[in-house]
């Protein structure tokens, strides 16, 4: 698992990363003066992770921040309360009070966390919430790193393998239940090649679904879109049908 391999990757070159670096100032009047760049911790780093990758997107940035000497506070998504409770338990067992901390709570707690005067804040999630996070950080001039959702079109060329195309698009669409930033949202196909590609895509609609949304907010949203039947979205550029997991994107 990446969260287990990541600490090893960081630990190996850490001493080299921490070493002061000699720098030339570029000013002729300072010739003979030694200049160096010294790396120091920023302070307290806040991390707000999403529901679709709650382990890696919480601990990967935390590992980097801790390696740099910072204190870390993690606020996982309110949609994963049991996992958050497990995080809090494991962190308490592995670190003392000077180590990282995990915060539990609903959306109001998340809003309060985003408004704190962090030395740096990292948020992964949807664009709408990302705007709110940035607005909450603005009064403190908190440096914020946002990783937001987007669109992932598949470009299908005239010389593409029709048989392989549908399967690969289905795999790209359904990876992690469709809950990744690289998930395919639509297909862009040359008009003259649309019909054979459409037939192949429709045949792939029986591709097994690797994950299910079972309850709570992430289940209610798509459930409300399908009165009596499963919804599907027509590709805006091609008419190719897309999987219902499209509606579960963050």
CA distance 211 to 217: 16
Q: Which residue range(s) make up the domain with 192?
A: 153-248
If asked whether residues 62 and 78 sit together in one domain, one would say: yes
If asked whether residues 111 and 84 sit together in one domain, one would say: yes
| Of 98, 118, 148, the domain-final residue | 148
If asked whether residues 169 and 83 sit together in one domain, one would say: no
If asked whether residues 139 and 173 sit together in one domain, one would say: no
Q: Give the chain's domain count.
A: 2
**Contact indicator for 172, 182 with CB cutoff of 8 Å:** yes
If asked whether residues 170 and 141 sit together in one domain, one would say: no
If asked whether residues 136 and 23 sit together in one domain, one would say: yes
Q: How confident is the model at residue 208 (pLDDT cuts 50, 70, 90)?
A: very low
**Contact indicator for 150, 130 with CB cutoff of 8 Å:** no
If asked whether residues 173 and 244 sit together in one domain, one would say: yes
Which residue matches tokens 């664009």?
Answer: 127
| Of 148, 182, 217, the domain-final residue | 148
In the set 40, 78, 147, 191, the catalytic residue is 147
Residue 213 has pLDDT above 60, yes or no: no
Across the chain, which distance is largest between two alpha carbons, in Å?
Answer: 79
Does 147 qualify as catalytic in the annotation?
A: yes
Pick the more confident residue, 62 or 222. Answer: 62
Pick the more confident residue, 41 or 172. Answer: 41
3-class SS at 231? coil
Q: Which two tokens stand for residue 106?
A: 């609903």
If asked whether residues 135 and 20 sit together in one domain, one would say: yes
Which residue matches tokens 């946002």?
Answer: 146
If asked whether residues 22 and 83 sit together in one domain, one would say: yes
Residue 157 has pLDDT above 70, yes or no: yes
CA 37 from chain center: how many Å? 31
In the set 64, 93, 97, 181, the catalytic residue is 181
Does 186 qualify as catalytic in the annotation?
A: no
> What tens digit of pLDDT does each residue of 221-249 get?
555 544 444 434 433 333 333 333 333 23
If asked whether residues 143 and 52 sit together in one domain, one would say: yes
| Of 104, 119, 148, the domain-final residue | 148
CA distance 101 to 230: 41
The pLDDT value given to residue 145: 94
Q: Which two tokens stand for residue 5?
A: 């391999």
If asked whether residues 185 and 124 sit together in one domain, one would say: no
If asked whether residues 7 and 65 sit together in one domain, one would say: yes
Q: What is the CATH number of the domain that holds 42?
A: 3.40.605.10
């Amino acid at each position: 698992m990446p969260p287990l391999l990541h600490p090893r990757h960081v630990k190996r070159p850490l001493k080299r990363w921490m070493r002061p670096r000699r720098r030339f100032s570029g000013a002729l009047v300072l010739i003979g003066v030694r200049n160096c760049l010294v790396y120091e911790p920023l302070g307290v780093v806040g991390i707000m992770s999403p529901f679709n990758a709650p382990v890696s997107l919480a601990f990967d940035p935390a590992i980097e921040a801790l390696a740099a000497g910072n204190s870390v506070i993690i606020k996982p998504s309110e949609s994963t309360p049991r996992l958050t409770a497990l995080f809090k338990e494991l962190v308490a067992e592995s670190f003392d009070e000077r180590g990282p901390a995990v915060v539990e709570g609903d959306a109001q707690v998340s809003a309060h966390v985003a408004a704190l005067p962090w030395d740096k804040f990292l948020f992964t999630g949807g664009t709408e919430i990302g705007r709110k996070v940035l607005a909450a950080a603005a009064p403190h001039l908190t440096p914020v790193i946002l990783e937001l959702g987007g669109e992932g079109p598949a470009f299908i060329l005239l010389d593409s393998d029709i048989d392989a195309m549908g399967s690969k698009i289905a795999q790209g669409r359904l990876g992690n239940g469709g809950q990744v930033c690289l998930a395919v949202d639509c297909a862009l196909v040359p008009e003259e090649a649309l019909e054979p590609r459409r037939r192949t895509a429709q045949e792939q609609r029986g591709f097994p679904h690797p994950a299910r949304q079972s309850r709570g907010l992430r289940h209610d949203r798509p459930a409300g879109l399908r009165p009596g039947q499963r919804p599907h979205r027509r590709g805006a550029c091609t008419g190719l049908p897309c999987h219902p997991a499209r509606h579960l994107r963050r």
